[in-house]
Amino acid sequence: MAGFSAVLSISRLSPLITPLRFKRYTGLGFKCQAGSSPQMDSDSTQKGSLSQVDSDSTQKKGSLSGISSYTLSAALAGLGSLETGYLSYLKLTNSNVFCPIGSGTCGDVLDSDYSFVFGIPLPLVGLVAYSAVTLLSLQQLGIFSIPGVNKTDSRLLLIGTTTSMATASAYFLYLLSTKFEGTSCSYCLISAFISFTLFFLLLKDYGLEKIGKLLGLQLAVAGMVIAALTNTYSSITPQSRSAEEFTLERYETEITKESTPFAIALAKHLHSIGAKMYGAFWCSHCNEQKEMFGKEAVKILNYVECFPDGAGKGRTMAVDCAVVGIEGFPTWIIKDQMYVSLRINGTVRLKDGLRCFPREMLRPKA
């Protein structure tokens, strides 16, 4: 009765207070909730805003400082496209690569038989892969649209592409450590870093639960990549083994071009200042250098043959070449400065390029 009287009292005061709605009956009495009021509406709006912020924060999990994974993948893949585009241009134009680290040793890797896949230059394959990742990431961001490919399909393609890129990078790092011992390749390491980063970045964004369902597909893609690369390189003779079995006796290449007065004068000047040209008898670029001077001027030059006893098994570089740190041929040392390849076109200019390296003598001619 006391409870009922209290209810009647509240109903009589209803014009003076906010109406109450009875929600449900509990063992402890009636549980009621106040009706709408400006203050409570404001509180509800704030709570809704906070819920939205929490939702947005949840969606941004897996991103870096609020930057989405697809923005990062588009940027990284764009950087990879620039690198492979540069290397593709050099490969297609038969130009020498600039090696920022390890002197000219990265040229040994990028010019080797391992730089092709089914006859296609490897940098060109990388350019296509990085470009695909860039476009697919931009589609996920809504910036670009690929006809016939929706966002779900593009996410699957991103996972498949980055899986194949990471697998190929791991395979090439294995080749670099086993087939090119003592050789550095900064471009190879940068490309591998980008590929692995893209793979783990998109893997994390996709979610472990969904990735578990695609594990079989990823393993299949990785297996096909390894099988294709192994089949491509199975016929290549390891360079280290060739160096042990290969022997080349020294021979002389005849210079047939007549020297111009300018070439003779230049040769006399280089001789007078103590300039030396270091070369190897098997080096085609050394012979081209001599041919530019002509047969009379070559006899005046201070030429040092770095393989006087032949090359290959049991033969080593001459001490005079080893002590000054010769890594490729021809190399000029002029007034204690090391230069690569002299060019003669009426004027003299030094060009950094067109050199032979010790491994080149072991490569089969095309």
**Alpha helices in the chain, H assignment, sequence order:** 2-12, 38-59, 69-92, 105-110, 122-140, 151-179, 186-206, 208-233, 239-245, 261-272, 284-293, 295-298, 319-322
Amino acid in the structure at residue 71: T
Q: How far apart are CA 204 and CA 70, in angstroms?
A: 11
Q: Give 9-54 pLDDT, tens digit per residue.
A: 434 444 443 443 433 433 434 333 334 444 444 444 444 443 443 4
Q: How high is the pLDDT of residue 118?
A: 83
Cα-based angle 279, 236, 226 (whole degrees, multiple of 5): 130
Which pTM does this prediction carry?
0.51
Q: Give 105-128 pLDDT, tens digit per residue.
A: 677 788 788 888 888 899 999 999
Instruction: For residue 260, count other CB atoms closer than 10 A to its CB.
Output: 16
Look up residue 25 and give its two tokens.
Answer: 């009956």
Q: Give 212-235 pLDDT, tens digit per residue.
A: 777 888 888 899 999 989 888 876
Q: State yes or no: pLDDT of 5 exceeds 80.
A: no
| Rg of the chain over all Cα atoms, to the nearest angstrom | 36
Distances in whole angstroms, Cα of residue 299 to Cα of each of 3, 89, 127, 304: 124, 38, 47, 12
Pair 263, 297: CB distance under 8 Å: yes
Distances in whole angstroms, Cα of residue 224 to Cα of each of 126, 160, 227, 332: 17, 12, 5, 47
